[in-house]
Amino acid sequence: MSESMTPVGVIGGGAWGTALAQMLASDGREIVLWARESELVEEINSQHRNSLFLPSAKLSEAIRATENLADLAPCSAILAVTPAQHLGAVLGAMKAHPADLVLCSKGIEAGTGRLMNDVAKDAAPGSDIAILSGPTFAHEVAAGLPTAVTLACSGGKQQWERLKPLIARPQFRPYYSDDVVGAEIGGAVKNVLAIACGVVDGLGLGQNARAALIARGYAEMLRFGEALGAQSETLAGLCGLGDLVLTCSSTSSRNFSLGKALGQGQSPEALMADRKTVAEGAHTAPVLNELAHKRGVAMPIVEGVTRLLAGEPAQTVVTQLLARPLRAEHDSDA
């Protein structure tokens, strides 16, 4: 099989994994999509539908679903779209790993505080790791609407040249970066901030408050990212500020929707137990808050979301944030 016809693998049959598979299949290339659910695999292969996670899309016949990770072995590149907390286990279950492993999950591993690229390096030491992140709603990508993302490559320009023809499509435009840490931090932190913006909406605090929260949240993202060696330019781009604006502005964001429900008085336990899809920010918030405290990085909004998820009333958290001492806007403790 020529390199141009080598199938591309996608790990994860949720909305985002299915949307990426649909986008990648738009040029006719075979896409091998791994999913846990046997009934979902059957539906994708027989009906070309994913009624559970992406009901709006009629899927390409070039997508072949499987329950067997070994079926991904012929793929020279794999996009890993499992929930962040399961990435290590899924990669560890694979007997062989591709030359290029593109991580599309956004989060920080609970218990260890590791970024996803560190999890992947341990599980797949022979692979070059890349991060695909940016302002993306799955249903829009699946529908072929214009989308731009950051593709941060640990393998530098050589990896970019390998991945570019596999991933780029007329309506899906990746931009190159070598700042893997920055791309990861943007995606992980914005999920937590989206919960906070949902709370603002749920409490009816208005557009002024949401805009202020986005700006102050971005300041927290920038402080934390720079403490871990990220480039400020990366966090000002698609995978940082761009993704933050998108997910803090729409109920299409799972994290925003979770925050809105919390702001309306629903309990975190009930909301998390009842959700079919993962609001990754809920898992990221406590570990992000802990890492920030260890590094002496002020992240009051992240801390507030952590307290909220632990059961503290939304109005109490907001009142305490508004009562913080007044400081200069660019103060490191603001």
Active-site residue list: 190
CB neighbours of residue 91 within 10 Å = 23
R_g over Cα of the chain:
19
What residues contact residue 47 under an 8 Å CB cut-off, 6+ apart?
none
Cβ-count burial 120-143 (b if 16+ within 10 Å, e if not) = bbebbeebbbbbbbbbbbbebbbe
Per-residue CA distances from 45 to 10, 66, 139 (Å): 15, 9, 20
Per-residue CA distances from 307 to 67, 302, 328 (Å): 38, 9, 25
Closest to 107 in 3D by CA, of 176, 169, 194: 194
* Torsion on CA atoms 87, 89, 94, 96, rounded to nearest 10: 70
What residues contact residue 77 under an 8 Å CB cut-off, 6+ apart?
8, 9, 98, 99, 100, 101, 102, 162, 163, 166
What letter would DSSP give residue 326? P
Q: Say how far apart CA 212 and CA 72 lie, in whole Å.
A: 45
